[in-house]
Structure 1
C-alpha cells in the first residue's frame, strides 16, 4: 500500500518568496547562449583595474583600457569577436583616432593589439578561459587561441573570485608559459607595473581584489584613495602648522619670562651697589 503525502491545508500560509522561488544562484545574470555576462563583481573588479592601470613607461594619452568591450580580431571573419572582462593597450590614442570614444576595439584599425588581458572565471567559462577547450571546425577559435596565436597578447591573466586563485601566462616563443608570482606580484617591466592581489575595501566592499602595483610593490591609488591621501596630508599639514604656532607662542612666552628675570636680577644688583652693565661677561 502506498501512502500519499498529506494535503496542505487551505488555511496554511503560503511560503515566502525566498523559500519558494529560485534564488540568484539559480537565476544568474547570464544569457544562456553566452555565458559569463557581467554580474556585480564583473563590474567592480574591472573598474578597479581600469582606475589603477597607469603604466609609468607610457604617456597617459597613449594608454587605453576597457571592460566588457567587443574585441574584433580576424579581418577574414570581421564579425567574430571576443569580449574580455578587461584588457589594456599601450601605444594607442585614448580616443579612437584622437576624436571619439570607442564602440568596440577593431584590431585591424588600431596601431596596437592589447598588451594584457584579464578574464574573471564564471561558472561555465573555466575550460575556455584556461585553454582546456578546443575550437570546433568552422566555428570561431577559443579565447586562448585568439589571445595566444592570433593577437599574441604578451600577458594573459585569469582570476577566480570563488577560490581567490590567480593564474598568469606570459607569451614566450609564440606560446603561453605559466608565470610565477615574485613576492606575491606578477611583474610586467615593459609597463613599469606589477599585478597582484590586495585585501582591502573598494567601493565599500571588503574582499580580495586584483589590482595594479608599481614594480616595487607600492599600490597604484585609485581616485578616491588619492583624495583620501590628499585630505590626510592636508589635515597633517594643518596640525603641523597649529603645532608650529603653539611652539612659537611658547617660545615667545619663555623669552618674555627670561627677559623679566634678567630685569629683576639687574635691579637687585643695583640695590647691592653693583652696576650690571659693567660686569664682565
Structure 2
C-alpha cells in the first residue's frame, strides 16, 4: 500500500509520531513475557531473500496510525514487518510509532498472538460500535489492505493465515502448520525448540530449503564454528607444509650422503 492511497486533507497539517501518543496505560492486551519473546524470535529470523535487511522494518507493540482523516486513531499489532522501509540508522531517530502518512507504506504482514482479552477482536468477531474507530480486523483488511494477516493461538498450538483476496481476507488451508510467502522469499511455521532458555512451540521463519533461519545467538555460534573450522584447516595445511619440508630435507640429506648435490636438482 503506497502513500498515494491515503489522500491527505487539503490545507491541514497532520501530526507526526512526536505529536501522537506511543502508549496508553491500562490498554487491554499489553504484552506479557511470551509476547516479548515471540516477537523477538520473529524479528531475529525475518530475513527475506528478496530484500536487503536495511529495507526490512520489524516492530512489536508499536502504535500503528493508519487514517490521516482521523490522525488519533491507531491499532497496536503484536508484530508486523514492512518491506521497503528503512530501519533507523541512529538511536535518536528510532520510531515512537508507525505513522502511515509519514512512512508511505503499509505493513506487508501483521501478526496477532491470541490472548483471552483480545481473541474476539483478533479474529474479527467484534462489530464496530457507533461513532467508534473501526475494529482491528477492518483496519488490516479494508483500510490498510495488508496482504497477510497471521494469528497464532499458543494455548491450542494453532496457526492461522489469512490472505487478502480482493477486498476480503480468506483463511488458507494449512496441511502443515507452515506457509510459504513467495513475494517475501520466506516461509512461516511452528518450530519446537528452545529460545532464550525457554522451551516451547514458536512462530519462526524458514528459507526456501525448509531450513529454519538462525537467531542472533545461532548465527554467532555458526560464525564461531566456521572460524574454528577455518583455523583447523589452516593448521592442517601448516602441518602438511611442515611435513613436506621435513621430507624434502631428509631426501636432500640422503642425496648428499650418496655424493649428490641437491641444490643442482
TM-score by length of 2: 0.77
Shift in Å, 1:80: 1.4
- Size of the aligned set, in residue pairs, is 235
Q: Which residue in the other structure is 1:63 paired with?
A: 56
Shift in Å, 1:253: 6.5
Q: Which residue in the other structure is 1:45 paired with?
A: 38
Contact 2:88 2:95 in 1 (8 A): yes
Contact 2:107 2:146 in 1 (8 A): yes
Unaligned runs of at least 5 residues, structure 1: 1-30, 267-281
Alignment of 1:156-167 (within 5 A): 156-167=149-160
Larger Rg: 1 or 2? 1
Q: Which residue in the other structure is 2:99 paired with?
A: 106
Shift in Å, 1:184: 4.7
Q: Which residue in the other structure is 1:190 paired with?
A: 183
Unaligned runs of at least 5 residues, structure 2: 1-23, 259-265
Counterpart CA distance in 2 for 1:66 and 1:147 is: 16
Q: Which residue in the other structure is 2:148 paired with?
A: 155
Match of 2:116 among 108, 119, 123: 123
Q: Which residue in the other structure is 2:221 paired with?
A: 228
Match of 1:206, SS state, is strand
Please tell me whether residue 81 in structure 1 is matched to residue 56 in structure 2.
no
Q: Which residue in the other structure is 1:132 paired with?
A: 125
Q: Which residue in the other structure is 1:242 paired with?
A: 235
Q: Which residue in the other structure is 1:178 paired with?
A: 171
Counterpart CA distance in 1 for 2:153 and 2:177 is: 16
Q: Which residue in the other structure is 1:217 paired with?
A: 210
Contact 1:56 1:193 in 2 (8 A): yes
Shift in Å, 1:260: 8.7
Contact 1:155 1:169 in 2 (8 A): yes
Q: Which residue in the other structure is 2:161 paired with?
A: 168
Counterpart CA distance in 2 for 1:179 and 1:203 is: 31
Match of 1:234, SS state, is helix
Shift in Å, 1:247: 4.5
TM-score by length of 1: 0.73
Q: Which structure carries more relative contact order (alpha carbon 8 Å, separation 6+)?
A: 2
Q: Which residue in the other structure is 2:13 paired with?
A: none
Match of 1:176, SS state, is strand
Counterpart CA distance in 1 for 2:241 and 2:200 is: 47
Q: Deviations over 1:83-107 (max 9, x none)?
A: 00111111223239xx822111111
Contact 2:122 2:136 in 1 (8 A): yes
Q: Which residue in the other structure is 1:18 paired with?
A: none
Q: Which residue in the other structure is 1:17 paired with?
A: none
Contact 2:159 2:177 in 1 (8 A): no
Counterpart CA distance in 2 for 1:85 and 1:101 is: 18
Alpha carbons of structure 1 residues 32 and 71: separation in structure 2 relative to 1, 3 Å? closer
Alpha-carbon RMSD: 2.8
